[in-house]
Chain A
Amino acid sequence: MMSQITNEGLILACSAIGAGIAMIAGVGPGIGQGIAAGHGAAAVGRNPGAKGNIMSTMLLGQAVAETTGLYGFAVAIILLFANPLLGKL
């Protein structure tokens, strides 16, 4: 059974698993963006006049926090569509 698995197939299967694991990186930005949005909502509640400034600051902070998740996404995409490991066979 195990002998039927080719080297290439093993790399592809493990790359798919690795891509899935890499997307766990999305947990952190999710939590961070949620915290930022919660504090943004609290700030608007305290000072509704500054809604525009709070919104832009919040969006900027969330976009910066999102970068770490996108690094995980980039790794997953590279593993799925531009696999560098297949060339090492």
Chain B
Amino acid sequence: MGTGMLSRSMFLSQEVDIGITGYFHFEIAGQTLWITTTHVSLLIVVIALSVFALFANRAIKKANPDDVPGPFLNVLELLVELIDNLTKANMGKRGVRFSNYIGTLFAVILVCNISGLFGLRPPTADYGVTLPLALVTFVLIHYNGFKYEKAGHVTKLFQPVLLTPINIIGEVATPLSMSLRLFGNILSGTVMMGLLYGLIPKLIQAFLWPVFGVLHVYFDVFSGAIQAYVFCMLTMVFIAQNFPEDEAQG
């Protein structure tokens, strides 16, 4: 038993840490609520984005239209134009006003996903974060559906009468699959990195830094950027489905 414990402590440098840790809890109306790593990470992400937004706002306010824009202003214009063009290409003329929401969504999800690089547990690896994001999309889809198709949005469900159950399941499955896709992708990266960090002793980790670097780039940056893009893309496509077809391409 003693040798078993010794050899295990030699190979397991630390506990495998991939779960959500609760820091402290309090009670409201008989429910126990926990403040967890997700809340802390999300707060840090929101503060970072707010600081960036404040600096961006100041730079834009001070900008002189006659001058050549500086490097920071240039990057800002590039980002805004990128989001505007993406929204316009996918949603048409009616969708341009959604570029605010799409840009915010993209920024939050992207920074959440790559926050694993800075030692945080990605907030999007918690189903309690991705489900509300998908539900906002769900509400937007059906708000725009009723706005543009009126009652046709409901009767569309019964179009071929035999397929009614499948149509209803399809509508309900949209937010579920969107949230599970984001959650599953980020969680799988977190689990893989957590297992690697937990199973390889600290001393060997120091020599294997290129391997960890490459894996972080793949799981956090590459996968995170693709999932943020896909989430925004699907949001745009599903909302634009409800627009009338004559002007959808405009």
Contacts and interface: CB of A to CB of B under 8 A. Distances in A.
A and B bind: yes
Interface of A: 56, 59-60, 63-64, 66-67, 70-71, 73-74, 77, 81
B110 to A, nearest CB: 15
Nearest to A81: B19
Interface of B: 19, 177, 180-181, 183-185, 187-188, 191, 226-227, 229-230, 233-234
A73 B183 CA distance: 11
A64 B174 CA distance: 11
Contacts of A70: 180-181, 183-185, 188
Contacts of B181: 63-64, 66-67, 70
Given A56-B233, A60-B230, A66-B185, 10 more contacts: A63-B181, A64-B230, A64-B234, A67-B181, A71-B184, A73-B188, A74-B180, A77-B187, A77-B191, A81-B19
A77 B125 CA distance: 12
B233 to A, nearest CB: 5
Contacts of A60: 230, 233-234
A67 B63 CA distance: 45
Contacts, number: 38
- Name B's interface SS: helix
B10 to A, nearest CB: 24
B229 A73 contact: no
Nearest to A61: B230
B226 A63 contact: yes
A59 B19 contact: no
B184 to A, nearest CB: 3
Contacts of B191: 77
A62 to B, nearest CB: 9
